[in-house]
């Protein structure tokens, strides 16, 4: 099977590596990939991406399966392009991608499907009429969270301490509209508790559980400092029981998939639920419509079976084959460049030479993300530069093994968290 993966980060490296282990995969193309990705079956595609070049390349190479990594390809409609080419693509079409693209769409759908989520209000119309109406709507909320509905480059969520704070945030947004506000603005009640990410492979109303993970979003230990794309992850989350998984399937996944089918926009691909488990019970924070980064780097090493064939069957809407989740744990630690995550325009250092031991590990893997080849060798070229994943029978062993490997790959200015997988 010839597979095309779209994207260039650590998640895409992990997908390519995992698929390369399968006997059913023969060639794996990554578009554009990064210069740290290498392997017997892997080939990078170096050309600008648009519908025309995608169509011609998929046809010329005889691609059997397309796997988009980041959501931007799904928003662009890659799955719909593939439909026209009769090539299976593992992901939702552009319309079903609204589950992640539009926070208002997602909240309205959760409400209609009866999926537990915190109370919310659409503020879009009120905001256009003035702050008096906005302030009156805000009074319904104890701890308001303001959200820009559309894609906002990770800058669209404002957790406020009071209604006055929320009002101030909205006043500023009204004065200086930000990306994503064309889709609207909403307020929701904050929920507290423990966060968990749950992954399900779906095709129409059928789904299969792929695993749970916990991302570590803050840049510094003990969840301090600004948010990042994710500084590391562990899988599975130790307190996620069989009963919890069944409950999430019944009360969150099934009603979502059934409603999407009923609306004529069936969901296919990975449904990645961001959940909060706390005193108010379990609430859905958000839908994502793709694999997580860096959650993928810990979910995939624990999946046993032919994953390429599994994804192909899902994309073809055939019966979903069995896949075993190994009774083990995996930990991933990201090494980031000096300056990352670059808040308030702070520069993120690039061009630092990376040194590493080019080895194959029995129960670990080095995944590259923000890197590129230079005359001197591989250099840093992004915020999250690379990360090690280690897996072992227990979480404690996986954590120990992962941290023991970190010194094997280094660059000037690197920083990483020392508490990944702990304090869950
Ligand atoms: N790690 C969070 C995400 O992929 O959205």
213 and 304 in a single domain? The answer is yes
Q: 414 falls in which pLDDT band (50, 70, 90)?
A: very high
Per residue in 142-192, pLDDT (tens digit) is 999 999 999 998 789 999 999 999 999 999 999 999 999 999 999 999 999
**CA distances (Å), origin 216, targets 192, 196, 213, 419:** 16, 10, 10, 9
Provide the mean pLDDT of the chain: 96
Does residue 261 fall inside a structural domain? Answer: yes
Assigned domain for 93 exists:
no
Both 318 and 197 in a single domain? Answer: yes
**HEC secondary structure over the chain:** CEEEEEECCHHHHHHHHHHHCCCCCCEEEEEECCCCCCCCCEEECCCCCCHHHHHHHHHHHCCCEEEECCHHHHHHCHHHHHHHHCCCECCCCCCCCHHHHCHHHHHHHHHHHCCCCCCEEECHHHHHHCHHHHHHHHCCCCCEEEEECCCCCCCCEEECCCHHHHHHHHHHHHHCCCCCHHHCEEEEECCCCEEEEEEEEEECCEEEEEEEEEECCEEEHHHEEEECCCCEEEECCCCCCHHHHHHHHHHHHHHHHHHHHHCCCCCEEEEEEEEEEECCEEEEEEEECCCCCCCHHHHHHHEECCHHHHHHHHHCCCCCCCCEECCCEEEEEEEECCCCCCHHHCCCCCCCECEECCCCCCCEEEEECCEEECCCCEEECCCEEEEEEEEECCHHHHHHHHHHHHHHEECCCCECCCCCCCCC
Q: How far is C-alpha 54 from the chain's CA centre?
A: 23
The CA distance from 315 to 297, in Å, is: 21
Instruction: Please report, for the domain that includes residue 365, its CATH number.
Output: 3.90.600.10
234 occurs within a structural domain:
yes
In a shared domain, residues 179 and 252: no
Whether residue 92 is contained in a domain is answered as no
Kindly report the number of other CB atoms within 10 A of residue 267's CB atom.
27
Bridge partner residues of 65 (DSSP): 3
Residues 251 and 185 in one domain: no
C-alpha of residue 294 to centroid of ligand 1, in Å: 7
Whole-number Cα distances in Å, 332 to 221, 384, 395: 15, 12, 11
Quote the domain boundaries for residue 341. Answer: 330-410
166 and 198 share one domain? no
| Residue 72, domain member (yes or no) | yes
Q: Are residues 203 and 159 in the same domain?
A: no
Chain segment 56-89, per-residue pLDDT in tens: 999 999 999 999 999 999 999 999 999 999 999 9
What's the pLDDT tens digit per position in 292-316? 999 999 999 999 999 999 999 999 9
* Closest residue to atom 4 of ligand 1, CA basis: 292
User: Rounded to the nearest whole angstrom, what is the distance from the C-alpha of residue 219 to the centroid of ligand 1?
Assistant: 14
Lowest mean pLDDT among 44-48, 90-94, 95-99, 346-350: 346-350
Domain boundary among 189, 209, 241: 189
Same domain? 359 vs 316: no
272 CA → ligand 1 middle, Å: 9
Residue nearest to atom 3 of ligand 1 (CA): 292
Residues 216 and 291 in one domain: yes
In this structure, are residues 324 and 304 in contact, taking their beta carbons and an 8 Å threshold? yes
List b or e across 150-184, with b for residues whose CB sees 16 or more CB atoms inside 10 angstroms.
Answer: bbbeeebebebeebebbbebbeebbeeeeebbebb
In a domain, 421, yes or no: no
Same domain, 351 and 311: no
pLDDT score, position 136:
95
Q: What value does the CA radius of gyration of the chain take, rounded to a whole number of Å?
A: 21
Distance CA 352, CA 382 (A): 10
Q: Is a pLDDT exceeding 80 seen at residue 423?
A: no
Average pLDDT over residues 374-390: 97
* Boundary-marking domain end, from 130, 157, 189: 189
Pocket test of ligand 1: the residue of 288, 336, 384 to mutate, having most ligand atoms within 8 Å of its CB, is: 288
CA of 286 to the centre of ligand 1 (A): 11
Distance of alpha carbon 366 from alpha carbon 332, whole angstroms: 9
Q: State the total domains in the chain.
A: 4
Q: Are residues 241 and 306 in the same domain?
A: yes
Substitution site in 68, 228, 293, 332 for ligand 1 pocket (most atoms within 8 Å of beta carbon): 293
Q: Which residues line ligand 1 (CB under 6 A)?
A: 215, 230, 288, 292-293, 295
Is pLDDT above 80 for 342? Answer: yes
- The CATH number covering residue 297 comes to 3.30.470.20
User: Does 202 fall in a domain?
Assistant: yes
Atom of ligand 1 nearest to the CA of 215: 1
Does the residue 416 lie in any domain?
A: no
Measured in degrees and rounded to the nearest 5, phi and psi for residue 187 equal -125, 140
- Residue 229 Cα to ligand 1 midpoint, Å, equals 6
pTM value surpassing 0.85: yes
226 and 305, same domain (yes or no): yes
CATH of the domain at 46: 3.40.50.20
Distance 293 CA to ligand 1 centre (A): 5
Count CB atoms within 10 A of the CB of residue 319. Answer: 10
Q: Are residues 314 and 230 in the same domain?
A: yes
- Residue 345 has a pLDDT of 73
| Domain final position from 189, 205, 240 | 189
Distance 375 CA to ligand 1 centre (A): 33
Q: Give tens-digit pLDDT for 224-280.
A: 999 899 999 999 999 999 999 999 999 999 999 999 999 999 999 999 999 999 998
Positive or negative torsion for Cα 231, 236, 240, 244: positive
| Backbone torsion region of residue 134, taken as left when φ is above 0, otherwise alpha when ψ lies between -120 and 50, otherwise beta | alpha
What is the share, in percent, of the chain residues with pLDDT greater than 90?
95
Residue 424: the pLDDT is: 73
Atom of ligand 1 nearest to the CA of 11: 4
**230, 290, 334, 384, best to mutate for ligand 1 pocket (most atoms within 8 Å of CB):** 230
């Amino acid at each position: 099977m010839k597979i095309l993966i779209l994207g260039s980060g650590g998640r895409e490296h992990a997908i390519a590596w995992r698929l390369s282990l399968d006997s059913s995969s023969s060639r794996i193309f990554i578009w554009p990939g990064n210069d740290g990705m290498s392997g017997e079956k892997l080939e990078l595609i170096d050309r600008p991406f648009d519908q025309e070049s995608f169509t011609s390349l998929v046809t010329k190479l005889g691609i059997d399966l397309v796997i988009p990594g980041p959501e931007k390809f799904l928003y662009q409609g890659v799955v719909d392009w593939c439909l026209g080419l009769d090539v299976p693509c593992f992901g939702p079409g552009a319309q079903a991608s609204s589950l992640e693209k539009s926070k208002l769409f997602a909240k309205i759908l959760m409400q209609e499907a009866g999926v537990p989520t915190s109370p919310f209000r659409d503020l879009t119309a009120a905001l256009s009429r003035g702050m008096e109406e906005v302030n009156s709507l805000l009074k319904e909320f104890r701890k308001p969270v303001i959200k820009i509905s559309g894609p906002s480059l990770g800058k669209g969520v404002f957790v406020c301490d009071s209604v006055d704070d929320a009002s101030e945030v909205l006043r500023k947004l009204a004065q200086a509209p930000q990306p994503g506000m064309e889709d609207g603005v909403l307020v929701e009640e904050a929920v507290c508790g423990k966060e968990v990410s749950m992954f399900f492979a779906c095709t129409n109303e059928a789904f299969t559980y792929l695993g749970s993970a916990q991302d570590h979003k803050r840049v510094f230990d003990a969840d301090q400092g600004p948010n990042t794309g994710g500084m590391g992850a562990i899988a599975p989350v130790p307190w996620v029981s069989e009963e919890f998984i069944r409950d999430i399937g019944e009360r969150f996944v099934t009603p979502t998939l059934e409603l999407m089918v009923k609306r004529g926009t069936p969901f296919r691909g990975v449904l990645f639920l961001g959940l909060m488990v706390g005193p108010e019970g379990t609430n859905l924070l958000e839908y994502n419509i793709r694999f997580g980064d860096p959650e993928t780097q810990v979910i995939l090493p624990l999946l046993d079976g032919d994953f390429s064939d599994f994804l192909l069957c899902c994309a073809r809407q055939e019966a979903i084959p069995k896949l075993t989740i190994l009774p083990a744990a995996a930990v991933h630690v990201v090494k980031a460049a000096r300056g990352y995550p670059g808040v308030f325009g702070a520069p993120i250092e690039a061009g630092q030479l990376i040194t590493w031991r080019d080895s194959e590990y029995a129960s670990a893997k080095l995944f590259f993300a923000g890197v590129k080849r230079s005359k001197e060798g591989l250099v840093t070229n992004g915020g999250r530069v690379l990360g090690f994943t280690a897996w072992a029978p227990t979480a404690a062993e996986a954590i120990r093994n992962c941290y023991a490997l970190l010194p094997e790959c280094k660059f000037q200015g690197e920083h990483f968290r020392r508490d990944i997988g702990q304090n869950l």
